[in-house]
Structure 1
Amino acid sequence: MGLALLAALLVGGGGWYYVAGARSAAATPVPATKTTRVRQGDLIITASGAGSLVPATQANLGFKSAGRLAELAVQVGSQVETGALLARLDDSDARVAVSQADIGVKLAELKLTQLTKGADAAALAGAQASLAAAQADLVRLTTPATAADLAADRENLIAAQKALATLQAGPAPEDLTIAASDLEKAAVAVQKAQADYDKVAYRGDIGSLPQAAALQQATLDYEKAKANHALKTAGPTDEQLAAARAKVALAQNQLDLLQQGSDPAAIAAAQAKVTQAQAQLDALTAGATVEDVEAAQLQVQQARNSLQAAQAQLDNTVLRAPFAGTVTAVRAAAGEWVGTTAILTLVDSAHIQAQFYVDESEMGGLAVGNPVHITLDALPDKTFAGRVIRVDPTVDKVEGVPVASALAELEPPQAGSEQGAALLAGMSASLEVVTAERRGVLLVPIVALRELGPGQYAVMVASPGGELTMRPVEVGLKDFINAEIVSGLTAGEAISTGSVDTSQ
């Protein structure tokens, strides 16, 4: 209501002005009114900025562990794809560590399998046999000896003593006489067989004749008789005597034990053997405990973790490109010992950005998504399109001047274009940032606006007869020359832009 009243007052005042002017026209010349037409067009607001090109992605690359650089696969300027080999350390120690860790996993898994599959049949049979033997020994020691047992042990002792005495006495004379006689008979038989053989030795079939077979048999009988004669005349060996004495001692000891009864210490030892054998059998039949299985499972997991860590160490001996780009720096050579500091710099040369600054007075419309037009000092005849992707939330100072810092991403060059190859990080750039724009809107010169109040405007509309009428309008975007009319006017209407002095 206040705006309408103000407009009415202004219109009324304007009417009075023209009436008064008409009355005094004869005395004072009226300045001519300058007009223009409301037109339809585009209004673009820009902010100027300056900066330089930077890569979208840059990485300083190095190894996670120190080692000797075995291979350097790139040089400055090399173009690489994602995953390409850049460099490699000597990996001999790392491969050994992986092999050892793999063996550790297999051993841990084998132990777990043995615990969970149950007792082995052979081990179970052995444990049962050990228990039976231990129990038999205990029964023997704890059972009183019978008369038959004593008689049997005495007979064993007497037999052992006789065998020893026989060995110590040596062969009987009659045995020596028989052995000598057998040897002499065998020698005579050989001589006769040899004579019979010699009579037919000239024949070609001598090998199939009975004389040959008889000679062979006689020779064998002679060797047997000769060996028997030597055995009889040589007497017993030290080993034979020692074995015979041991049998006598064993038989005597067994008889003494039966006669004296069981020793308490021997019974206790036998009982301990039974207990131990029973525990071993119980452990086999019961299988592994829950705790044993869980411990084995943890050992398997620990071994696998060690293998994974060893494999990671092996993988870390290879340096690969994390993205496609260009190598811009190399700080090592093959054969050198390198640490964990960066030895290569890789930049994404396919995606270039512009880091730029805008004066504080023009930063009002600066926002993410604003289109930008970029020209380079090195390529002044080319313009590159892009879009703002970041606006820093604080104001910086460059050489004492407050500025807004922002980042723009350049649009990728079209296929076959040579523009992308010409863009290098570090190039100086000038930017025009489109902070606001209106397309196909009604426009009037900024001088045609009459400000009625804060944010309230009107224009003087000229009739075909030249009369001026003030009309309130809604103003949208405006720059230093034109203003967008959102409502209140139509295209083609004539409006006043001021007056022209025609008195001269």
Structure 2
Amino acid sequence: MFRFSIKNTAVAAALLMLTACGGQANTAQPTPIPPVRADERVVAEGRVVPMRSAALAMNSNGVVAEVLVAEGDIVQSQQALLRLDTRRQEALVAQAEADKARAEAALARLKAGSSEEELMAAEAQVRRAEAQVQQVRGSVTDRDILAAEARLQQAHARLAELERADDRPEVIQAKARLDEARATLEAEKARLSAAKTDARLRMDQAVDALTRAQSAWVVARSEWDAVQSDGRHPTLGYGLNEAEKRKFLDAFVQAETALRSAESSVEQARVAYDAARQAEAVGVSAAEQRVIEAQAAYDRVLRSTNNDELAAARAEVADAQARLDKLRGEERSGAIAVAEAALAEAQANLARLKAGPTTAQIAEAEAEVRRATAALLAARTQLDEMTLRAPFGGLVAAVNIKPGEYVTPGTALITIGDPSAWQIETTDLTELSIVKVQPDALATITFDALPGVEMQGRVTRIRELGENRQGDITYRVIIAPNQHDTRLRWNMTASVAIGQP
């Protein structure tokens, strides 16, 4: 009852107050509510990267001799990071230095002019050439030519007498079989050698394929081990889901399958090459044996003919003919012409030495010095390019090569960055969002690894070319923080809100 009365009293009091207020209750204005503004900033995911970084590659190919740094090392600008095997290039540099020295010495000799000893030697050469011309002109008489013709006729008669034995049918048949055996031998050598060369080429190609497969397997195995170890991307550093981990496993399995296939191909190619070598040895040996047998048969048929006498008779004919040709007019005229040409050359050489070098000769020698100098510079440059150097001081982030491995130009081997200044690179700004971003726009940056840390920064660059990322066209935006935090690391994930809050 007590509660009821209090309640009724309260209701009555309320009614009295409403009655007293009268028209005031009807004319009161509602309190205005301020409008809520939506946050129009563009939010994107990004990663921490150095303001300066480089994936370094070689300009030339070769085998790695030394890897001079390890991941995590701090290096100075122009510090050597990696060196290829330079022995062959060092030899080329030494050869280029020798060529340059030789060209410079030739130029110096040319400018110095002829020495007294060189002039005396040239004059002696002229006198010898004059004596040779006189000797050739007076060395042959008509009597010498008649004697040479008679000797040639006698030699022909003797040879004809000995060769009549070779006209027998059995001799002709035996000679034909011998010629056929010799031709077969040469054909077998060519065919079997070509087969062996082809097998060797296939084996070399299989070895090259195996080398590439081994390198791919090493990379895939290293990446898969890294994924198993910490569950993160081996190069980009972000966490992987199961599907992404499966891709690395599949890549490793494929690389291992390719390696086994390449090893099998090398073994098959080796067996084929050994078989080709054996076939060549057996085939050539059999063909050579047939030649030996045919030669023996031919020799038996010719038993009645003295082979030594036949060879001597043929040699006598050749010698008599050569002697006669030498004594006759054309041969003699040729000898005279040769002697006169030697005399003219000796006289021209003497005149050249007395006159000294011409402007053209000096220019040619100077051009040879310039050519040798350029070749030496090119050789030294190529030698220097076989050492990979840091373009700036910084941190070695990745080393993707080992001593003994073969490298090709353009393949990224070592990655370095300057950890003294970081920037944020967005990874997911689509074409719908990029139109709202302007250069020099303000940005707020937070980090997954540093809860509570918030930095301010500005947009320094917007990449003009979009990239297709899982079906979306995305653009990279670079934000420079206004402050530096030593806890930041390469590829840490970050979130950026671009624009005024």
Task: Give the shorter-chain TM-score range.
Answer: 0.3 to 0.5
Q: Which of these two proteins has the greater Rg computed from alpha carbons?
A: 1
Greater strand share, structure number: 1
TM-score (norm 1): 0.45
TM-score (norm 2): 0.46
Greater helix share, structure number: 2
